Each structure stands twice: as structure tokens, then as C-alpha cells.
Structure 1
Amino acid sequence: MTPPFVQIDGVSMRYGGVEGTLALRDASLDVGDGEFVAVVGPSGCGKSTLMRLVTGLWPPTEGTVIVDGAEVDGPLSIAGMAFQNPTLLPWRNIIDNVMLPLEVVQPHRRQLRAQRGTYERRARDLLKLVGLDGFEAKFPWQLSGGMQQRASLCRALVHDPRLLMLDEPFGALDVFTREDLWDVMQAVWLAKKPTVILVTHDLKEAVYLADRVLIMSSRPGRIIAERRVPYPRPRRLEQTYEAEFQAIVHELRDRISEARKGEATDVR
């Protein structure tokens, strides 16, 4: 049997020392290579903390995080990340913003000067894939919020990460732009097939994009349930209005409501 690409085993995370806030307690999950998983749960349940542990930005207080067969002990060069706010650098044009990780992440940093033309073509191909062909020379302030988020996705993908971590990447957008970007994200995944972990509060988004939806408890968070999504890809937005799709969304909402009733409390 092929081992999971991402494996979290008995992970706990406490902020602020022994008397601090326990964000995660005994959290475990597996994500297969090339799988698209969404993580949902009550506000403050530790979803974003989970993201930072997987990418090596923070070490766990207890437990182990393994990615691609190796225990995570620092920031991962094979990971790309996109957040709720695009955080594009305002003094750089779009293509230079997209290429920023290539200036930081090895081995691309060593190769960038000699292979700049190849890397620039990769960045342009990504921008074309997300519908930003022709906007390479524009600056972030010249783009709408949805267009900036498209560029942010390209930046997360430009170094060909095997793991893509998405932390509420569409949460600040209006519903129409958000749904457009679901299809963009679906197209990116179908083209590149990275392993994806999406953190979201939008249950419709989770069901539309993911292979599996993982449900977290209230803080201190842990995975308490999962729901497989039965739809093959490519998926169509029209499916989100069908009774079966809506039933899955309501099922997830009920589970999260149950989790909220058991809310809170930092058990030491």
C-alpha cells in the first residue's frame, strides 16, 4: 500500500507555554499523493494552525508531521501557499510577483539567472491558465480582487510544488467571483495534480472542490469525521443546486453544529 503523502499523527499544538492556549489536541489525518482534501469546522478550531504545522512554519508541541516520507522539521520547499488576502507586492508587476518564489526556493534560486526565460514562460503559462493572459505587466492595484487572487494562485504554483496549501483563499471575494475561482482552481488541479489541503468555512466550496471533506471539532481541534465527495471531475457549478449536493452540504453543517455544542475549553 502506498504511504500517505501527508501524515499527521497525534499532533497537539499549544501557544504561549504550558499555561497557553491549546489549539490542537491529538489531531491525526492522512492525505494521499495528488488528493484534494478540504478541512472545515467551527471558527477557532485550529484549521489554520494545522496548515502551519504541515508546511513546517511551526513545530508541533506533541506528535509528528510527515510529508513525502520525511518528518517535517522546518519550512517545506515543496509546498506552495495561498491565503485569504493575495499579499502581492505593490511595487512589482504581476509576472514579477508570480516569479517571486523562484528567487527564494531552491533549487530554482540557483537556476533562475541561467534559466530565466524558461521560468518566465512557466509563469506566463500559469497566468494564461487562470485567465490573466495579457496582464503580466500590470501592477496589483490595477487588478480587481479576484484577479489578484488568481495571480496569488499562480505565485503559489510557479515552483511546481507537490503540496498546495490553501487557507481561505476565496473568502474575501463576492459570491460570483468566488465561484469563478472554484472553476479556476479545479482547472489548475486537473492540469497539475498537486496534493491540496484547503481550509475553508464555505461548505459548498469544500464539496465542490474536494475529494474528501474533513471535519474538525471545536478547540482544541482534532479530526472527528470525514465525508467523501462522490462526484467525478470536471464538476459543474450547476451541480451545486442539485438535491444530492445540497444534502451533503447540510450533512456537513449538522456535524459542525454538533461540534460547536461541545465547544471550547482548553483542557490541560
Structure 2
Amino acid sequence: MQGPAFVKIDGVDLVYRQAEEETLAVQDLTLDIQEGEFVAVVGPSGCGKSTLMKLVTGLLEPSNGLITVGGKPVRGAIQGVGMAFQNSSLLPWRSTLDNVMLPLEIVEPHKRRLRKERKAYVEQAMALLKTVGLDDFAEKFPWQLSGGMQQRTNVCRSIIHEPRLLMLDEPFGALDAFTREELWGVMQKLWMEKRFTAILITHDLREAVYLADRVFVMSKRPGRIIHNRVIDIPRPRTLDTTFEPHFGAIVHELRAYIHDVREA
């Protein structure tokens, strides 16, 4: 039996106001996510996927409804969440290792402990870099890394402080297909080891099915959840998994929902 939801969005509306214009971005947005669950959110462009991320992290305040994380109402930006985006946001003057360690300088209680326990934290960061195959690049700078290496570094930085919640907004969207598929395996491995709660925003339906326990499909604007698909494919998943008939059938099912809402 499942316990209370770790992330709960209950009947949320969001109205964007600009000058005298109002835009209803999401309406009656409702979903539950269990702790340690990996979910993906898909839907047509402009449906409110990134808005959902900003609402959960407290960067936007809902016009109506309630959002809770860890049983607490979200009132402003929440602390300790990990985030990774499509474009690399590495600091160019910091090495790979120093970029990964950046949250430890900002997030409590690590910020308070870093000076005294620096050696242990460096070992932790190096172990994480080794997991994603970047331990030999710890002293390199972002401009010396490929796009895929930069995104691996981004992902490591987003989880170094062991957040309970990881928000992923198209983290592999700017990469070529081969690198993107390789990083699916990296992300799955990290999640299976750390078991953080993850919300992935993506346009790539294969990516969603590969990584997620459940995939939520959103309607066109104003966005709401119209389908909740459990991904009943055993882990660990591999690229061979993506060629299996059941995997393909789930992808086609999700695509059909998105096609229908775009045509509606």
C-alpha cells in the first residue's frame, strides 16, 4: 500500500498576468508522486510542462489550488531541490570538480561543514564523477568538455547535495541522439543507486518511457493531466529494451494521446 504522496499537486490553476492581458497556463492540474519515484511529463509545446516545474519548486505561486512537497505546502522557493536544464549552466572559470561541488558551498548543512570536511566531500564528488565516467576530467574546464560531458557534469552537480527531489527540464534535449541515449543509461544508473524523486520534463517519448516509472500526458493550454501511464517494463532498461514491441507500443500510445490533444 502506498503512503502519502511526496509531491502533491491538487487542483492548481495558474493565470499569467501581463499588462491588461491574462493567460490561463494550467487549469485543475492534479497529480501525486511517491517518494523515490521517477516520473516524466510530456505534452504538446506550450502545454505548461515547464510551468509545472516552476510551480513544484515554488518559483511560481498558483492562482488556485495547493502544492505540497514532503507534506509541507509550497510557499516560495523550496530548499535543497536539484535541478538540471537543457543548456549547460557550468561556470566557465571552474573545473569539472569545482562545478560539481558548487551546491555544497550554498546548500545547508553542507555549506556549514564544507571547510572542515572538504576531503570527504571531494571524495564524494570524485566517486560521483567516476560513476558517470568523468573522474579523469575532474580538473578540466567546461570548454574542454564535449556537450555530453558537460551534461554529465550538470547532472552530477544537481545531485551532489543528495536532494530528495530532482527536477529535470529537457536535460538531454540539446545533444545528438547517440549521446542522449547514452545519458539515459547514466541517469537510470544514478537513480537506481540514489533513489531520489525525479520529475523529468521532455518532448522525447522514448526518453520518457526509458527513464520513468510513470508518464503523465498534459493537454494543450490550459494544461491539465489527461493520461497517467504506468511503465510496466522491468529495470534496468537498456537500448535493446527500446526495440521491444511492448516499449514501442507504449510510445505509440503516448504519441496518440498527444496527437489527439493537439488536434482537439
Per-residue CA deviations over 1:80-129 (Å, capped at 9, x if unaligned) read 00000121010111111111111111121111111111211111111111
SS at match of 1:177: helix
Q: In the TM superposition, what whole-angstrom CA distance separates every residue of 1:21-71 from its partner, at most 9, and x where no partner exists?
A: 211111010000100100000000000010011111221121111000101
**Does 1:12 find its partner at 2:20?**
no
Aligned CA-pair RMSD: 1.1
Which TM-score applies when normalising by structure 1?
A: 0.95
Question: Shift in Å at residue 75 of structure 1?
Answer: 1.9
Q: Structure 2 matches for 1:185-200, cutoff 5 A?
A: 185-200=187-202
Question: What is the aligned residue count?
Answer: 262
Asked if residue 252 in structure 1 is aligned to residue 246 in structure 2, the reply is no
Q: Specify which of 147, 150, 153 is matched with residue 151 of structure 1.
A: 153
1:82 matched to which residue of 2? 84
Tell me what 1:95 maps to: 97
Partners of 2:184 and 2:132 in 1: how far apart?
Answer: 11
- For 2:207, the equivalent position in structure 1 comes to 205
> TM-score by structure 2 length?
0.97
Task: Give, in angstroms, the shift of residue 133 of structure 1.
Answer: 1.1
Paired AA for residue 149 in structure 2: M
Q: Secondary structure at the match of 1:7?
A: strand
2:120 is matched with which residue?
A: 118
2:38 aligns with one of 32, 36, 39? 36
Whether 1:223 aligns to 2:240 is no
Q: Structure 1: any 5+ residue segments left out of the alignment?
A: 263-268
Q: Distance in 1 between matches of 2:8 and 2:188?
A: 24
SS in 2 for 1:45: coil
Specify which of 232, 235, 260 is matched with residue 234 of structure 2: 232
Q: How far 1:188 moved relative to its partner? A: 0.3
Higher deviation after alignment, 17-26 or 136-145 = 17-26
Task: Show the counterpart of 2:67.
Answer: 65
Distance across 1 between alignment mates of 2:213 and 2:6 = 15
Structure 2 counterpart of 1:52, from 48, 51, 54 = 54
Cα deviations by residue, 1:192-251 (Å, 9 ceiling, x for unpaired): 000010000000000011000100000010111111111111111111111111111011
Q: Are residues 1:128 and 2:130 paired?
A: yes
2: CA distance, partners of 1:53 / 1:229: 25
1:261 and 2:263 equivalent? yes
1:20 Cα deviation from its structure 2 partner = 2.1
Tell me the residue number matched to 1:181: 183
Between 1:162-171 and 1:108-117, the stretch displaced more is 108-117
What 5-or-longer segments of structure 2 have no aligned partner?
Answer: none
The structural deviation recorded for 1:78 is 2.9
Q: 1:19 offset after TM fit, Å? A: 3.0
Instruction: Map Cα deviations across residues 144-184 of structure 1 (whole Å, 9 max, x no partner).
Output: 00000000000000100011110000000000000000000
Separation in structure 2 between the aligned mates of residue 105 and residue 20 of structure 1, nearest angstrom: 36
1:266 corresponds to which residue? none
Aligned partners of 1:115, 1:75: CA distance in 2, in Å? 28
